Amino acid sequence: MSSTVPSAPLRVLVIVASTRPGRLGPAITDWFVRATAPDAARHRTRVEVADLADVGLPMFDEPEHPSRGEYAHDHTREWSRRVADADAFVVVTPEYNFGMPAVLKNAFDFLYQEWAWKPVAFVSYGNTSAGTRAVQMAKQVVTTLRMVPIGATVALRLAEHTRDGRVLDSPALADGARSVLRELDRVARALRPLRAPALPELTAGPVEGLTLSEVRDEDLAELFVLQRCCWVQEAIVNDTLDLPPLQESFADLRASTSTWRIWCLRRDGRLVGSVRARADGDAWLVGRLMVAPDQAGGGIGSWLLAHAESQAPETTTHHALCTGHRSTRNIGVYERAGYTVTEVDAAQGVVHLVKRRPPVSS
């Protein structure tokens, strides 16, 4: 899916919207990609091209409504994957009879959720109007798909800006192309929180703007930093730096994803909390419960703990966790959640707590 981490590279899909013989779309697309390549490299933006002539979508032939995301055909599933992976779009389109090409409308109509909350820019071309009427028509469609058309555009008059099937390079045109990519970059990053995956049962959390998902590779760098920040306070309270979350390397954290289920909590796109859990015999081990220091005190930690507990398999009989033996605040939170101290290991500086699971009703 498209990336939702603020620092992750953007993926821009440039769509060639004409399939007719002798079309100029591929040449104009090549020019746009070349003109914006330095800015794309500077901003870590990955630009890919989807030529609808190669994509080869038939006229809409799916039996289910696109909003269901249940696709019967391989061509739809492949188109879905490419659109879903993108963070933003540039549509290179001509104007046909005051409107956009039918093949472009068809490509929009095949999908629904995959387009949502992503910006789209237009590079149009034509004669008198330079394709701008096609863009106006397309904007009515993309806004219905919850896309966000940006203000910056490039409009090429064929007689003025092309010759022998290629775009005539000019500083003004190149500046226009770079302006499109820069604005697309800004809007795509701003919209990322809206594209963050959410667990439906958790959207009504204690703080607005929260979304929860299982950890992905792109989360690990932020998670590593958050973990260090959260355990500094624990180190101070327990008077030791010999705490596993502070000693763990990035490689260790990555390796832990194969043995633990890890959830990441974001607030408006920012990583603000995490928890992990796994089964160990009849115990459901909960660990690394963390909330960013400036977000603590609002019930987020208790909410995360309850979510981790809710994921326990039926084969487990109790939840188990541990914390620093001087971490009185943490111990209080856990006791209020129903945990009981079962062991105090002063030598190791650890307190072990257990909470019995209610019996599963048959």
Q: Tell me the per-residue pLDDT of 54-81, one tens digit each, with 9 for 90 and over.
A: 999 999 999 999 988 899 999 999 999 9
Distance CA 288, CA 227 (A): 8
CA 180 to chain centre: 22
| The predicted structure's pLDDT at residue 330 | 87
Phi and psi, residue 79, nearest 5°? -65, -40
pLDDT of residue 204: 45
The pLDDT of residue 331 is above 70: yes
Evaluate whether 314 touches 302 at the Cβ level (below 8 Å). no
pLDDT band at 4 (very low <50, low <70, confident <90, very high): low
Sequence-distant (≥ 6) Cβ neighbours of residue 328 within 8 angstroms:
none
Closest by alpha carbon to 184, among 134, 150, 235, 133? 150
Which pLDDT score, from 0 to 100, does residue 196 have? 67
Tokens 């929260």 correspond to what residue? 210
pLDDT > 50? residue 160: yes
Looking at residue 359, its pLDDT comes to 67
pLDDT tens per residue, range 8-18: 789 999 999 99
Q: Evaluate if residue 7 carries a pLDDT over 70.
A: no
pLDDT at 1 over 80: no
Domain at 201-356, CATH homologous superfamily: Gcn5-related N-acetyltransferase (GNAT) (3.40.630.30)
Confidence band for 218, pLDDT divided at 50, 70 and 90: confident
Residue 236's pLDDT is what? 85
Q: What is the mean pLDDT of the chain?
A: 90
Q: pLDDT value at position 66?
A: 93
Residue ranges, comma separated, of all CATH 3.40.50.360 domains in the chain are 10-193
pLDDT at 199 over 80: no
pLDDT of residue 283: 95
User: Which of the two residues, 30 and 128, has the higher pLDDT score?
Assistant: 30
pLDDT at 247: 87
Q: Does position 6 have pLDDT exceeding 60, yes or no?
A: no
- The mean per-residue pLDDT over the stretch 208-222 comes to 87
- pLDDT confidence of residue 68: 87
Q: What percent of the chain has pLDDT over 70?
A: 94
Q: Is the pLDDT of residue 127 over 50?
A: yes
Cα–Cα distances (Å) from 265 to 3, 62, 180, 301, in that order, read: 15, 35, 32, 10
In this model, does residue 23 exceed pLDDT 90?
Answer: yes
pLDDT at 202: 45
| CATH class of the 10-193 domain in this structure | alpha beta
Residue 94's pLDDT is 97
Query: Between 204 and 192, whose confidence is greater?
Result: 192
Q: 203 pLDDT exceeds 70?
A: no
Of residues 49 and 248, more confidently modeled? 49
Give the strand order in the sheet containing 340-345: 210-214, 261-267, 270-280, 283-291, 318-324, 350-356, 340-345
- Please give the Cα distance from 152 to 53 (Å, whole number): 26
Q: Report, as an integer, the average pLDDT of 14-28.
A: 95
CA dist., res. 79 & res. 15, Å (int): 12
225-276 tens-digit pLDDT: 999 998 888 878 778 887 888 888 999 999 999 999 999 998 888 899 999 9
Report whether pLDDT(277) > 80. yes
